[in-house]
Structure 1
Amino acid sequence: MEQKNVGILLNASAHRGVPQGRTGWESLACYEEAADAYGLTPCYLKLSDIDSATGYSTAYIKGHQGYKRVVIPIPQVIHNRAIYPPGNTGTERLAARGVKVFNRRSRYGKDEIHRLLSLNSGLLRHLPGTEAGSEGLRRMMEQYPDLILKPRRGSIGKGIMRMRREDKKGWLLDYLHNGRMVTVNIDPSSLPYALLRRIDAGSYLIQERIPLAEAGGRPFDLRVTVQRRWGGEWAVTGLFAKLAPPGGFVSNIAQGGEAAQAAFALEQAFPARAAAHYRMSAASLGLAVAHCLEHSLPGLADIGLDIGLTRDGKLFFIECNGRDQRYGFYKAGLPEVWKDTYRRPMGYARYLLEGGSE
């Protein structure tokens, strides 16, 4: 098999750490092992080093004496693992000149994803009630006793708030402040100006809070990693559970949540047979979401989906992560699945280099 280059596009901060191997949870060793299995050489890029006019880029490539910065032709296939602010067109420009960039965008507005999925009649029953704006908040308060307020473009659980009805007159607002849960009383007839300003700025969505199944008294959801592989087909690489901290409502690992094997969490909440059924159902829902989104999001190939499961066995789509934080599999004690999350994209990259279509 002929050795070929594949680009791994990183944010500037991670790219800066490549020579020292300090790239956070982006495992260079996993990229290199996976790429080698498919006859690929990973070339670590950042957008500002790619010159579309000349067709060349500087990149870090590992050699016998460590990582060396070299000038190479722009790789014909690039896996995007960087996050750019809205309006950045760098990956689109690369695609326009014929480079196959997969996961072209790695961050999507939660409202955009919800809108796209709501167009699919088969997925509607898996979508939580969702509104925006202060009027939407008031409508949701009339309809549901428990709400989640989440940033449209937030990640790793930052900025998420919970509003819950205490009684017929009052509500409680829960939020994290400096790693500590804060709860304040809210008068529904006179909502705080600071809260309404955030909501009306369009930066927040309001959703019904799903009454999640619990493991040991801790609510959990499932992270389902869905990726394209060799041959171009979508496949579920794996799934794990994210448990909220005791007394918390946010399951994100970066906000104090804990990763656990999906079977462990599910069997804490349900009989073994039902747990196995729900695990397969969550995987099937993940595939259905990927197949739906691919029609509207060019280059989509590698996503992490949060799937919620209620105590009575109903599945809900919660969130789509365009840059899946793969380390959850490692923290859940699933190192081979963690490595698979690197192998699948490299298999897909080889498929594209062999002439496969996106």
Structure 2
Amino acid sequence: MGQKLVGILLNAAMHGGVPRLKTGQESLANYEEAAAAYGLTPCFVKLSDIDVASGFSSVYMKKGLQGYRRQIVPTPEVIHNRAIYDPRSTGVERLLRQGIQVYNSCNRYGKDQIHGLLERSRELQAYLPVTASGLSGLREMMNRYPDLILKPCRGSVGNGVMRLTRSGEGRWLWSYSLSGSRRKVSRSVNPDALPRVLRARLSSVPYLVQERIPLAEINGRPFDLRVTVQRGWGGAWQVTGLFAKLAAPGGFVSNIARGGEALKSSFALEQAFPGEEAARIRMSVLSLSLALARELEKSLPGLADIGLDIGVTKHGQLYFIECNGRDQRYGFQKAGLRGVWKDSYRQPMGYARYLYEEALRMNSY
């Protein structure tokens, strides 16, 4: 099979770091290795460097010992989107209209949107926490549940997440992290006169209010599971791997960026459950994750590479927590799962080759 280009679409800031090998958590070496396994050559591009009219793009490509250099190439026919754009941006849509196959064409979905799509499935409803929205939803949920999690619909890596816990004597405990810090703050609040700052937050941006799932714990620290589900060669969904995210001591969010710790999923589950039960839960998590991906793809065109957060209660009940459209794969590396980390790059490149072969097959008719 001859080599073909596969585009890796990056945001401008990350794209600018390619020649200096400064791309944050994205591994250029993993892309190179994974693409080569499928006879592909990766090129790194940003939207503003794609000229739809001419069909050519300015990209970064590796040139041996010279490192990454700018080149003008025909715009790749297949592009893996790893960028997040303003919802009003039409750049990716223009590429799709030109017949360019952009997979994970949108990778930032609101938590409310994802919850609504999954709620349509009768089979999956049992795995969804009870959910409301906004200030009115908060008051309703406070009447029903003693422990709540408040999440911004568009938040990421745990930013803006808050907790409200009934503390007795008619009071609630409001917990949150200071902006730009991992330091947690807690204060007692009157449910009949919620703090102005709290009310302002829920009024300024859309928030989900959910019953807090009593997650399984290790030494008093709750954990959930990050499951990477991807389409690879052949086009079918498969679970590439999973790891556990353990909340920081005293914390209520498990995000690694907020002080959480990445662990091997088998180790975490075996710490919280007997051996056979841990194995059963792990298999159930894999099955649920595939069912979630297949349900979401019905409504989200181009979906091919996602990270799902799955909670497990102390009694082994599974709950869907959230879907990450741009899965941060570095958790596998931090959990000591280097092989799975590499696989999380290999699968999308296999899917790119699959899309090329499918287009060739269709054009041969």
TM-score by length of 2: 0.96
* Equivalent-residue separation in structure 2 for 1:245 and 1:202 (angstroms): 27
The residue aligned with 1:100 is 101
Q: Which residue of 2 aligns with 1:353?
A: 356
For residues 183-229 of structure 1, give each alpha carbon's deviation from its aligned partner in whole angstroms, at most 9, with x where no partner exists: 01110011112212221334211111100001122100000000001
Structure 2 residue aligned with 1:316: 319
Aligned residues: 358
> Matched residues in 2 for 1:270 and 1:340: separation?
28
RMSD: 1.2
Instruction: Give yes or no for contact 1:132–1:202 (8 Å, CA) kept in 2.
Output: no
- What residue number does 2:25 align with? 25
Identity over aligned residues, as a percent?
64
Separation (CA, whole Å) in 2 of partners of 1:331 and 1:168: 43
Runs of 4+, deviation exceeding 4 Å = none
- Unaligned stretches of 5+ residues in structure 1: none
1:327 aligns with 2:333: no
Partners in 2 of 1:134 and 1:182 — Cα distance?
21
| Aligned twin of 1:10 | 10
Cα shift at 1:123: 0.4
Output one character per residue of 1:29-52: Cα deviation in whole Å (capped at 9) or x when no partner: 000000000000001000110111
Q: Separation in 2 of the partners of 1:200 and 1:13?
A: 31
Q: State the Cα distance separating 1:262 from its structure 2 match.
A: 0.1
TM-aligned CA deviation for residue 84 of structure 1: 0.9
2: CA distance, partners of 1:191 / 1:108: 29
**Corresponding position of 2:131:** 130
Residue 63 (str. 1) matches residue 66 (str. 2): no
Secondary structure of the 2:29 match is helix
> Which of 247, 252, 261 is equivalent to 1:249?
252
3-state SS, counterpart of residue 168 of structure 2: coil
CA distance in 1, matches of 2:292, 2:182: 32
Structure-1 separation of matches of 2:126 and 2:23: 40
- For the 8 Å contact 1:215–1:266, the answer to whether it is kept is no
- Does residue 191 in structure 1 map to residue 186 in structure 2? no
- Counterparts of 1:1-358 in structure 2 under 5 Å? 1-64=1-64, 65-177=66-178, 178-355=181-358
After alignment, is 14-23 or 234-243 more displaced? 14-23
Please state how far the C-alpha of 1:85 moved relative to its aligned partner.
1.7
For residues 109 and 42 of structure 1, the distance between their equivalents in structure 2, rounded to whole angstroms, comes to 30
Q: Using the alignment, how far apart are the partners of 1:266 and 1:179 within structure 2? A: 26
Deviation at 1:345, TM superposition (A): 0.2
Q: Return the offset for 1:137.
A: 0.5
Asked if structure 2 preserves the Cα contact closer than 8 Å seen for 1:243 and 1:260, the reply is yes
Preserved CA contact (<8 Å) 1:160 1:175: yes
Secondary structure of 2:308's counterpart equals strand
Kindly provide the CA deviation profile for residues 288-343 of structure 1, in whole angstroms up to 9, marking residues without a partner as x: 11000001001000000000000011100000000000000000000000000000
Q: Secondary structure at the match of 1:246?
A: coil
Q: Aligned equivalents of 2:318 and 2:169: distance in 1?
A: 29
Q: Which amino acid aligns with 1:301?
A: A
Q: Secondary structure at the match of 1:166?
A: strand
Q: How far apart, CA to CA, are the structure 1 residues paired with 2:188 and 2:114? A: 32
Note if contact 1:45-1:58 (Cα within 8 Å) is conserved in structure 2. yes
Q: Distance in 1 between matches of 2:51 and 2:148?
A: 47
Separation in structure 2 between the aligned mates of residue 164 and residue 341 of structure 1, nearest angstrom: 37
Amino acid at match of 1:269: A
Secondary structure at the residue paired with 1:184?
strand
Distance between the aligned counterparts of 1:168 and 1:232, measured in 2?
56
Moved more, 189-198 or 108-117: 189-198
Q: Secondary structure at the match of 1:31?
A: helix
Whole-angstrom distance in 1 between the partners of 2:51 and 2:301: 22
Which has the higher mean CA deviation after the structures are superposed, 173-182 or 117-126? 173-182
Alpha-carbon separation, structure 1, partners of 2:197 and 2:337: 42
Residue 56 of structure 1: how far off its partner (Å): 1.0
Letter in 2 for 1:340: D
- Work out whether residues 78 and 100 of structure 1, in 8 Å CA contact, stay in contact via their aligned partners in 2: yes
